[in-house]
Chains A and B, each alone.
Chain A
Amino acid sequence: MSMINYASREINCKLVYYGPGLGGKTTNLEHVFGKVNPAARGKLISPATETERTLFFDFLPVDLGTVRGFKTRFHLYTVPGQVYYNASRKLILKGVDGVVFVADSQLERMEANIESMQNLYDNMAEYGYDLTKMPFVIQYNKRDLPNAAPVRDLQAGLNPGWEVTELSRQRVAPDPSHAGENLVEQLGTGEWVEHAPYFEAVAVTGDGVFETLRAVSKLVLKSLA
């Protein structure tokens, strides 16, 4: 839940990076931490395990700057990706304003991606949140690996689209990040569907990290209007 302070003209929003274990969620935050001006961000908090796997969450507060006269601060969180940490994962989603799903592009991680996406929908639903009605973007990470699945296959498995029933929204919306693709489109069956915006990334080198963050930040700030 975003916190808006009209007196000090400050907005605080919560973003959660979700996805399967070892998919690169923490690496995304580490890259942001390394690149953002130290004056504009806090410490990267990682209650870590001995094996450097995320135990509870990673946390990084980042001052984005001033938008429409409001100082905007994003609180970035990751969840532990390992299947058995679901109680922790669910806790971190509480009060979320925007979600980034970090998928592992490797062919052999497809099943883990799908399981994690289902888990995200389930956990959100338990709080009464509808992922299809809130800021949500997908990042296909590890695009540099030779065993990375084609984006088309990842899209079919993880981002097939949800039905658009509202008549006013049943019109083609081009994807600004991918020429020739649409975020809202009509299928051959006549059904209208909407896809989450997606981005390709190599989080270890930083490719796609800020593009993803920018996209979800825009959606979150738009949702406040």
Chain B
Amino acid sequence: MLLDLSKLRGQREHFERTFQPPQFDPQAFASLTAADFSANDQLAKMIGEHEFSSLFHQGEKESMYLADIAHRVILVALFDSRTTLGMVRLKVKVTVEELTKLFEAMFTRPETGAPKLEGFDSQEAEDEIDKLFGD
């Protein structure tokens, strides 16, 4: 989840005073978000679309807007009734464009490709794993 505080300008202090981080398990949230996006990707293909680049889920109090970034990252904007879907969509569109450039540049850096870890095929590594399992 990404938040650009610099765009809030004068509202920044007010935002920092009133903002409360979500009280959920971030790993479970990320896993379900990825599954949600993947499932919708398949639905898109079933109706002849290449993809759904963004998704919107409306709740009674909280809503979420999800957008794909460089086919590798999902940006989730959580919002409530203090703003509108149109405003979120507008802000996210600009943010997605900026982040897409950033991530694409990052993913094409040669040193980011499949790094190898040293010592993970050693007997010491096996012993460490055995210890973690209580041996």
Which residues of A does B touch, CB under 8 Å?
A: 4, 6, 11, 42-43, 45, 47, 56-57, 59, 61, 64-68, 70, 75, 87-88, 91-92, 94, 210, 213-214, 217-218, 221-222, 224-225
Query: A221 CA to B122 CA in the complex, in Å?
Result: 10
Selected from B27, B39, B116, B128, the residue in CB contact (under 8 A) with A224 is B116
Across the two chains, which residue of chain A brings its CB closest to B131?
A: A65
Q: Are B31 and A45 in contact (CB under 8 A)?
A: yes
Q: Are B115 and A4 in contact (CB under 8 A)?
A: yes
Query: A56 CA to B117 CA in the complex, in Å?
Result: 33
Q: List 17 A-B contacts (CB under 8 A).
A: A6-B115, A56-B39, A57-B35, A59-B32, A61-B27, A67-B129, A68-B118, A68-B122, A75-B27, A88-B39, A91-B38, A91-B39, A214-B133, A217-B129, A221-B125, A222-B121, A225-B122
Which 8 A-B pairs give the minimum distances between C-beta atoms? A225-B121, A225-B120, A65-B132, A61-B27, A214-B133, A222-B121, A224-B117, A91-B38
Selected from B27, B38, B117, B125, the residue in CB contact (under 8 A) with A42 is B27
Query: A42 CA to B30 CA in the complex, in Å?
Result: 12
Q: Are B119 and A225 in contact (CB under 8 A)?
A: yes
Across the two chains, which residue of chain B brings its CB closest to A221?
A: B120
User: If the complex has contacts A68-B120, A218-B126, are A42 and B25 also in contact, measured as CB distance less than 8 A?
Assistant: yes
Interface size class of B (residues with CB under 8 A): 20 to 34
Selected from B42, B119, B130, the residue in CB contact (under 8 A) with A214 is B130
How far does the Cβ of A97 sit from chain B's closest Cβ, in whole Å? 12
Which residues of chain A have C-beta atoms less than 8 A from B3's C-beta? Answer: none
Query: A99 CA to B120 CA in the complex, in Å?
Result: 19
Across the two chains, which residue of chain B brings its CB closest to A87?
A: B42
Main secondary structure of the interface of A (DSSP, over half): mixed
Query: A224 CA to B122 CA in the complex, in Å?
Result: 11
How far does the Cβ of A197 sit from chain B's closest Cβ, in whole Å? 14
Query: A56 CA to B42 CA in the complex, in Å?
Result: 14
Which residues of chain B have C-beta atoms less than 8 A from A43's C-beta? Answer: 25, 28
* Chain B stretch 84-124: residues in CB contact (< 8 A) with chain A: 115-122, 124
Across the two chains, which residue of chain B brings its CB closest to A210?
A: B133
User: If the complex has contacts A56-B35, A224-B117, are A68 and B28 also in contact, measured as CB distance less than 8 A?
Assistant: no
Q: Are B31 and A64 in contact (CB under 8 A)?
A: no
| B41-65 near A? 1/0 per residue, CB < 8 Å | 0100000000000000000000000
How far does the Cβ of A138 sit from chain B's closest Cβ, in whole Å? 19
Query: A42 CA to B25 CA in the complex, in Å?
Result: 7
Which residues of chain A have C-beta atoms less than 8 A from B32's C-beta? Answer: 45, 47, 59
